[in-house]
Amino acid sequence: GQNIDQPTEMTATEGAIVQINCTYQTSGFNGLFWYQQHAGEAPTFLSYNVLDGLEEKGRFSSFLSRSKGYSYLLLKELQMKDSASYLCAVFTGGGNKLTFGTGTQLKVEL
């Protein structure tokens, strides 16, 4: 079966750095996505990793280790608007399905 684990909730301070971890055990792996979802809104794409290593995009970076079944999303210089749910999703099987974790609810405080 497919299993993707993320912490349920995290709290961080404005201006700080936060790391959201994701571990997965899936039958097949063709890449890992991170999406951001604000309450009541659709998920929006943040990053995609298929090779090991760090992908940096502005304040957001994503890391992947395929051998460890592990990824993290790093958010720097946190802003209040970063308060949202962060979804880890793995491309599995025939490459056409995204299996999502339950998401990590991040709260940014002053």
Partner 1 sequence: GAGVSQSPSNKVTEKGKDVELRCDPISGHTALYWYRQRLGQGLEFLIYFQGNSAPDKSGLPSDRFSAERTGESVSTLTIQRTQQEDSAVYLCASSQGAAEGYEQYFGPGTRLTVT
The binding site for partner 1 (CB under 8 A) comprises: 4, 30-31, 33, 35, 41-45, 48, 50, 87, 89, 91, 94-103
Closest CB 15 distance from partner 1, rounded Å: 28
Give the Cα separation of 21 and 67 in Å (integer): 15
Which residues is 106 bridged to in the sheet? 10, 84
Nearer to partner 1 (CB atom), residue 48 or residue 70 = 48
Residues in the chain: 110
Tell which residue, 12, 45, 43, 26, has the closest CA to residue 90. 26
Closest CB 83 distance from partner 1, rounded Å: 16
Nearer to partner 1 (CB atom), residue 89 or residue 108 = 89
